[in-house]
Amino acid sequence: MSDKNTTSILDILTKVNDNTWEVPGNYKPGMNVPGRIFVSKPLLEILEPETIDQVANVASLPGIQKYSMAMPDAHLGYGFSIGGVAAFDKDEGVISPGGVGFDINCGVRLIRSNLMEDDVRPRLAELLDSLFEAIPSGVGSKSRMRLTDEELDDVFIHGVNWAVKNGYGMKGDLSHCESNGMMPGADPSKVSIKARKRGRPQIGTLGSGNHFLEVQYVDKVYDEEAAKAFGLKEGQITFMIHCGSRGAGHQICTDHLQKLTQASKKYKIPLPDKQLACAPASSEEAQDYFKAMICAANYAWVNRQMIMHWAREVFDEFFKAQHGDLGLDLVYDVAHNVAKLEKHMIDGEEKEVYVHRKGATRAFPAGHPEIPEDYKDIGQPVIIPGSMGTASYVLKGCPAAMELTFGSACHGAGRVMSRSSAKKELRGEEIQNELKSQGIIVRATQPSLIAEEAPEVYKSSSDVVDVVHNLGIATKVARVLPMGVVKG
DNA sequence: ATGTCC
């Protein structure tokens, strides 16, 4: 069966190099540009043909620049594939919620420490219990804090600035977030009452699915200079937070999808797939979505900030008396699901484009003005979480990203088995015990969730990372291994 | 991903 799959995919795609395959511009009628899928041969063999169709569909949207792209972790998504990257001209192009996804600014942050593996291992189980208690998780989980309506507006507009101003973090946290944890241009009046109602009680909650808080140790350093700049060394304890904008972002996406479905008809945009609903970038409908999307993006950064704040408190409670200042600095926070107006060189000219990254990470190289001062000679940290129980990677953005992918890299391992089949075929308790035998502790609200997120339902994060590393889009800095995971 | 169907 896999032979047949490979044969049919190879009939469609043209090899550009070992890690780049092209979807010809005549593969489907209406394509404005060809597609580019960045995969190695082993990843190509497990690529779904439907993902290629999605790349081709996106190529037919107005004003798309250069290529409709898919990262090595690409798989089927709503309209656009997960792992999709597409840039649309600011004036001639479109904005599409499908190119961002339902979990607006789902993303990941990495926190370093002065602790070493041996300091934490003896108290790991207790530590995880405390983290599980301190950070609300699971579907519909409610926060430890209640935002007023005014505070919710502040979160939407000011992002992490709101959190730091109110004592939930340190000033240095700001510059170590993509966009300083605050995209400008938010307009809370474009967010429905329903989305506000869902968002108010959920700030600082982990959610469910593949979202997690993980205690890790640095197992390998590939790039000494970059690791030093990021404050990382072998044997050191780190922790990672992966979550998004919860019910608020989901509702904002749902609300505006409905409006943009109407707008697609109004502006007579031919859609090969209804899920690609969009509107001309400069139209009121597209801009309303964009202003609401920014509210959700800023909300997601605050969500991760609150979780980090409470996790820092737990670490301090456990280790400060013995170890003093734990140096729990934010290494960086990246968005995986967002659209941004950026300047890129296209055919020798600088152009403003709306870059849609859906399950893709920004990966700007050294010297880019959006990189914090202390990383400016290194490049932007690119944080790639592995699946539960497997390695995560820290990379640095490199110049090839600007040439090849509008400054983008992959975002994670990428699913190979659906949630429903995982639940049918695997048992959560068994996975939990298997991980325990490897020294990895898992705390989750439900065993079925552990089955849905089992290591074997994901591609290998190292295969995926090797593609962007070998292309020179983002190169490996360090690998971290899990010790304990808190899940929804 | 998601008050996993208002």
Any known ligand binding at A25?
no
The pLDDT of residue A139 is 92
Our CA dihedral for A45, A72, A22, A269, rounded to 10 degrees, sits at: 120
Query: Would you call A167 exposed, middle or buried from its count of C-beta atoms within 10 A (0-12, 13-18, 19+)?
Result: exposed
Q: How far is CA A305 from CA A160, A197, A312, in A?
A: 7, 21, 10
Distance of CA A6 to the CA centre of its chain: 28
Span CA (A191) to C1' (B6), Å? 19
Whole-model pTM above 0.95? yes
Question: Do the Cβ atoms of A292 and A100 come closer than 8 Å?
Answer: no
Return the structure tokens found at A407: 């400054």
Please state, rounded to an integer, the average pLDDT across all residues of chain A. 96
CA A75 remoteness from chain centre: 14
Catalytic residue among A176, A309, A411, A469: A411
Tell me whether residue A387 is annotated as binding. Answer: yes
Confidence tier at A488 by pLDDT (50, 70, 90): confident
Question: Could you tell me how far CA A262 lies from the centroid of its own chain?
Answer: 29
- Beta-sheet pairing, A474-487 with A441-443: parallel
As to burial, measured by CB atoms within 10 angstroms (0-12 exposed, 13-18 middle, 19+ buried), residue A190 is: buried
Structure token digits, residue A387: 């699946």
Mean pLDDT of A422-436: 92
Nucleotide nearest to A140 (CA to C1'): B3
Is A408 annotated as contributing to ligand binding? no
Rounded-to-integer distance, Cα A209 and Cα A220, Å? 28
Q: At a CB cut-off of 8 Å and minimum separation 6, what does A244 contact?
A: A103, A104, A105, A106, A107, A207, A211, A300, A303, A337
Helix (H) or strand (E) holding A201: none
Cα separations (Å) of A472 from A52, A189, A410, A459?
23, 42, 12, 21
Nucleotide nearest to A141 (CA to C1'): B3
Span A137-147, average pLDDT: 92
Q: Was A434 annotated as part of a binding site? A: no
Q: Per the annotation, does A412 bind a ligand?
A: yes
User: Annotated binding residue at A451?
Assistant: no
Tell me the helices (H) and strands (E) count for chain A, helix number first: 17, 19
Asked whether the predicted pLDDT for residue A7 surpasses 90, the reply is no
- Residue A140 (CA) to nucleotide B1 (C1'), in angstroms, measures 12
Q: Which string of DSSP letters, residue by residue, matches A222-283?
A: S-HHHHHHTT--TTBEEEEEEE--HHHHHHHHHHHHHHHHHHHHHTT---SSGGG--EETTS
- Residue A431 backbone dihedrals phi, psi, to 5 degrees: -60, -45
How many whole angstroms separate alpha carbon A276 and alpha carbon A471? 29
The rounded distance, in Å, linking the Cα atoms of A487 and A441 is 11
Q: What is the tens place of the pLDDT at every residue in A273-327?
A: 999 999 999 999 999 999 999 999 999 999 999 999 999 999 999 999 999 999 9
In angstroms, the CA of A395 and the C1' of B3 are apart by 37
Cβ–Cβ < 8 Å for A216, A481 = yes
| pLDDT exceeds cutoff 60 at A422 | yes
Distance A83 CA to B5 C1' (A): 28
Query: Which two three-digit tokens encode residue A425?
Result: 């075929």
Where are the alpha helices (H) located in A103-211, listed in sequence order? 117-120, 124-134, 149-158, 160-165, 172-175, 193-199
The protein residue nearest B1 (Cα–C1') is A103
Closest by Cα among A390, A354, A387, A383 to A468: A383
Judge whether residue A1 has pLDDT over 80. no
Question: Quick one: tokens of A373?
Answer: 């001062």
Angstrom distance, A9 CA to B1 C1': 28
Note the pLDDT of residue A413: 87
Residue A351 scores a pLDDT above 90: yes
> Residue A3: pLDDT band by 50, 70, 90 thresholds?
low
The answer to whether A158 is a known catalytic residue is no
CA–CA separation, A317 and A327 (whole Å): 14
When pLDDT is cut at 50, 70 and 90, the band that residue A418 belongs to is confident
**Residue with more model confidence, A156 or A420:** A156
- Work out the pLDDT band at A10, boundaries 50, 70, 90: confident
CA distance A62 to A60: 6
- Residue A346 in 3-state DSSP? strand
Identify nearest nucleotide to residue A197 by CA to C1′ distance: B3
User: Of all nucleotides in the shown strands, which has a C1' nearest the CA of A102?
Assistant: B1
β partners of residue A394: A383, A478
Measured CA to CA, the distance from residue A208 to residue A449 in angstroms comes to 8
| A252/B3 CA-to-C1' distance in Å | 15
* Nearest residue, CA→C1' of B3: A140
Whose tokens are 């000219």? That residue is A349
CA/C1' separation A246–B1 (Å): 8
**A248-CA/B1-C1' distance, Å:** 12
Nucleotide minimizing C1' to CA distance for residue A453: B1
Please tell me whether A240 is known to bind a ligand: no
Per-residue pLDDT at A4 exceeds 60: no
Percent of chain A, pLDDT > 70?
99
For residue A6, is pLDDT > 90? no
The answer to the question of whether A244 is labelled as a binding residue is no
* Strand B protein footprint, C-beta under 7 A: A 102-103, 106, 139-140, 194, 197-198, 202, 207-211, 243-244, 246-247, 250-251, 419, 488
- Answer whether A276's CB lies under 8 Å from A263's CB: no
- Rounded CA gap, A424 and A10, in Å? 32
Per residue in A473-484, pLDDT (tens digit) is 999 999 999 999
Which nt has its C1' nearest the CA of A247? B2
Nucleotides of B under 7 A from a protein CB: 1-4
